[in-house]
Structure formats: C-alpha cells, structure tokens
Amino acid sequence: MITRTLGSSDLEVCAIGLGCMGLSHGYGPAVDEQDGIALIRSAVDLGITFFDTAQVYGPFSNEELVGKALAPVHNQVVIATKFGFSFDGSSSTGLDSRPEHIRSTVEDSLRRLNVERIDLLYQHRVDPEVSIEEVAGTVKELIAAGMVAHFGLSEAGVSIIQRAHAVQPVTALQSEYSLWWREPEAEILPTLAELGIGFVPFSPLGKGFLTRTIDSSTSFADSDLRSKLPRFTGQARTANQALVELLSAIAKRKSATPAQVALAWLLAQHPWIVPIPGTTKPHRLRENTAAGDLELTPEDLEEITAAADRVDVQGERYPAHMQRWINR
C-alpha cells in the first residue's frame, strides 16, 4: 500500500489504516478474540501499518486484542491509542485528563499493548476541567521520557488545536469526516494545513451507511451505538439514501464499490489525510484497502463534491448527552 506522512511530522503510515474499535466495542457484541487477531494480522498482510485503538474501547479489551495481534510485528507498525476517560473497574465514568490520570493510564496502555512506547497518543476528548496546556505539557513529558512518540487530539476545535500545538507539536487530529459529515472543511482543515498537522478521519464510511448495506429497514441491536444516533433513525436513513445512490452510480462507472469511492474521495482532499475505516469482515478489509488504488479524476471529484453539496443530510451525529464531548 502507498504511504503518507501525517502533516509535517516524520510519522509515515499507510494511506488507509484500520480502526479497531468495532472488534470489541460499539457495534454489537465483541468478536471472538481469535477472529479479531486473525483480522488484524490479515490487515498486516495487506500492507496496513496503522492501527487505531483506545482505552475506552471495551473498556480495555480492544487494546489487549491489538497488543496480542500485533505482538510479532509491533516494531513494523504504528499503533495509536487514546486517553481521557475515567473508569470504575471496567466501566467508563466520564472525562478525566488530569496529569496524574494521564500518566497512570498511559502506563496501563503500554502494558496492554505490550510495547515500550506508544507511537501516537491522542487525547480522546477535550476535558473542560483541565487546561489543554496542562494536557499537552504532560504528554510532552511522556515524550521526553520515551513512553510516547507523537501527540494527537480527537474532536478538538481550532482554539484547542492551536493552544496545544504551541506547547507540544500535534502530529494528528482524529475527528469524523466523510461525504456525509463535512463540517471539518470550514475551519479544521485550513487550521491543520497551516500548522502542518495530519488528519485521521474516523467513520469515513459514515458508520457503514455509505457502503450501501444499510437502509430504512435495517435493525440495530441495543448494543449497537447506531440504535441511539439521530442520523440512524428510519426517517433519517430514508432521507439520506440519496447520498448512497450518488456513490453507487459513480462506483458502477468506475468498476468499484460505494465504499471505495467514498474512501478515494477522502484521500484526494489532502495528501496528509489518512482515513481509518473499521470492519470485522475480511472481505470488507480487502475492499477498503483496495480503495487506495482507485483513481478519481478531477472531473470525478468535482462531480462527487457538487452532487454531495446538493444532498441535505438529515439527523445529528450524536444525541445531546454525547454532543457535549465535542469541542468546537
């Protein structure tokens, strides 16, 4: 697979990474551990070198899974994880980016991942109770101590990004970005370009919606986060189907799939964008990886963007209690 560099850093990764969350968390029951290990190792065989996890996925079980799967090759890949939530046993209880909490939980992440240094460490969500300067300073100390290589932020707004970067250079921002969530284009992407920060879009396939495998009749288990998201109500899915039909028409013309077109569109926006689609299925892993070879012409990109501009996507990304964790 072709590689990309995240911003002006020296962190080189594959152009399309693997978001590992869904193997343990968020989309229904966790997969069998051996199946998860097999999928991650298949990703390595396909040339994927960038793997994304977090403490809160599970919690903890996803880091452990990633650590076991990548143990034979951890010196050949880039592993990103995240801090920023507090825990009561194995349950998350809210945000916590106090310096002492960061240090202790990062030590736990190192143990679970079975590595001596975390390649990319994100603050998972901005904690309004702790200044970003204090957070960035703590990560700077962890970098000096050799426990962390690169600092990242997730779902942070422009001011937070600028303030953090002034204390410790930010290598990457991870936030949602896709053809059906283009909010980062207004202010976030110009800021990242100015500061030399890479962008790692999560949910680049709209949590599965852009793959054309979900319609108004699809049902979600209670343990599937999409069952609670306004954008995934039956009414919203019906309204948003126009975007999927657009992708499907272009995909047919390009002998590709809607998912591949959606990923190729993202890759074409900037050379420092590295999406991390997730999957539990080997054939979807191969499909997503192949999107790196799909070439969209300037005319294709103009057509896709213009058509997407005309689609009025319905439904908020998150319910109100989750929106408060988004810093803008």
- Collect all residues with Cβ–Cβ distance below 8 Å to 224 and sequence separation of at least 6: 26, 27, 28
Q: Are 15 and 267 in contact (CB under 8 A)?
A: yes
User: What's the CA angle centered on 304, arms 299 and 306, to 5 degrees?
Assistant: 95
What is the four-CA torsion angle of 256, 261, 263, 268, rounded to 10 degrees?
A: 120
Of the residues 27, 57, 122, 177, only one is catalytic, namely: 57
Q: Of all residues in the chain, what percent are helix, strand and coil, respectively (each to 5)?
A: 45, 15, 35
188's enclosing H/E stretch is helix 188-195
The closest alpha carbon to 315, from 201, 234, 208, belongs to: 234
User: Does the annotation count 57 as an active-site position?
Assistant: yes
Token representation of residue 167: 């204390």
Nearest-angstrom CA–CA distance, 170 and 161: 8
Nearest-angstrom CA–CA distance, 98 and 85: 10
Task: Give the catalytic positions in this structure.
Answer: 57
